């Protein structure tokens, strides 16, 4: 079984913000794979189904970003799945806008959602799909930037990027992380098309 966790903040006030691209990608994965996000447990909303031949759980934590680890730890403890089978979808300010990067493991960098997950799992050995949300303007606080919405032009580009992010998650599950990294980490950035 694979658990795919999209990071974001619950509630209408946060919908479509830069910080919620993880939630948005979960919605695309659910739609593409006929999975209904209709269950509530583990301080999350989630759905269960299949991607390829693998059973999957698509998860949107409802704890707010900075406590995302509570949901991930509770699912990990309950299902006793290998940590490598937890795929986290996360926004990233340090990679190019509209790019998708798969990482096998690593530090949290500046991301509080990842910090919470790593802290509570006591392990950073889980794959993540990072989505470039743009660089913070110098005159804007980081929190204000990540909670802002995309411009109309940016949104059109990001919507395509989110489909790429969903495809990359499917590739990790169906073909393994090495193949997925080879395929997606070398793709040109959508913003440069």
Give tens-digit pLDDT for 120-141: 999 999 999 999 999 988 898 9
What's the confidence (pLDDT) of residue 186? 80
- The gap between the terminal CA atoms of the chain, to the nearest Å, is 36
What's the confidence (pLDDT) of residue 191? 62
Percent of the chain with pLDDT over 70: 97
> Could you say which of 5, 6, 7, 19 is catalytic?
19
Give tens-digit pLDDT for 27-75: 999 999 999 999 999 999 999 999 999 999 999 999 999 999 999 999 9
Question: Is 111 annotated as catalytic?
Answer: no
What the block records as the tokens of 105 is 């493991």
């Amino acid at each position: 079984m694979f658990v795919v966790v999209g990071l974001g903040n619950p509630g209408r006030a946060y919908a479509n913000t830069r910080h919620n691209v993880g939630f948005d990608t979960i919605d695309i994965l659910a739609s593409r794979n006929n999975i209904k996000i209709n269950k509530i447990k583990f301080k999350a909303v989630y759905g269960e189904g299949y991607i390829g031949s693998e059973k999957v759980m698509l998860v949107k934590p409802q704890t707010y970003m900075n406590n995302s680890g509570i949901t991930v730890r509770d699912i990990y403890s309950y299902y006793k799945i290998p940590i490598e089978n937890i795929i986290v979808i996360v926004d990233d300010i340090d990679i190019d806008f509209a790019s998708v990067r798969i990482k096998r493991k690593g530090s949290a960098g500046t991301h509080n959602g990842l910090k919470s997950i790593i802290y509570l799992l006591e392990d950073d050995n889980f794959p993540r799909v990072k989505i470039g949300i743009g660089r913070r303007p110098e005159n804007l606080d980081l929190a204000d930037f990540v909670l802002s919405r995309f411009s109309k032009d940016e949104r059109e580009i990001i919507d395509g990027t989110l489909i790429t992010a969903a495809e990359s998650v499917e590739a990790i599950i169906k073909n393994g992380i090495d193949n997925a990294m080879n395929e997606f980490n070398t793709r040109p950035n959508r913003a440069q098309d």
